[in-house]
Every structure is written in C-alpha cells, then in structure tokens.
Copies of this chain bind each other. A is one copy, B any other.
C-alpha cells in the first residue's frame, strides 16, 4: 500500500505543476505546512479523505483525477 502514497504524491505534484502552482502556493492555499506538502508529494504520508478533497478543491479538479 506504500506505493499508493507514492503514486498519489506524483499525481498531486503533476497536477500542481500543470497549473504552474509552486509548493509554497499550494501550502498557502490549503493551509498545510509547506514541508508537509513536500512529504505528501514524496509519498511519505498516507493522507486522509479530507486532505484529498482539500487538494482537489484548491487545484480545481475532480477528486477522482488525483487518485492513482
């Protein structure tokens, strides 16, 4: 299941970069600590459903687009 967090982190990073949003900006918009966003993108965190929806809201995409 560890891969799941890694796969999700990659999707999050790709979506963020596609929108030209920095990690700092994403952290600011989601009110999550920047270093924690970094850990999530590196697949070091098994995020919750609420965080998943928070990201999809800020990145203005369907939550399903962020799922591996």
Q: Which of A28-47 contact B (CB under 8 A)?
A: 46-47
In the complex where A47-B48, A48-B46 touch, is A1 in contact with B67 (Cβ < 8 A)?
Answer: no
In the complex where A63-B67, A64-B64, A67-B63 touch, is A4 in contact with B53 (Cβ < 8 A)?
Answer: yes
Classify chain A: how many residues form its interface, as a range.
10 to 19
Question: Of residues A8, A49, A54, which shows the largest number of chain B Cβ atoms within 10 Å of its Cβ?
Answer: A49
Please list the residues of chain A having a beta carbon within 8 angstroms of any beta carbon in chain B. Answer: 1, 4-5, 8, 46-50, 52-54, 63-64, 67
Known: A1-B50, A47-B49, A48-B48. 17 other contacts (CB 8 A): A1-B53, A1-B54, A4-B49, A4-B50, A4-B53, A5-B49, A5-B50, A8-B49, A46-B48, A46-B49, A46-B50, A47-B48, A48-B49, A49-B52, A63-B67, A64-B64, A64-B67
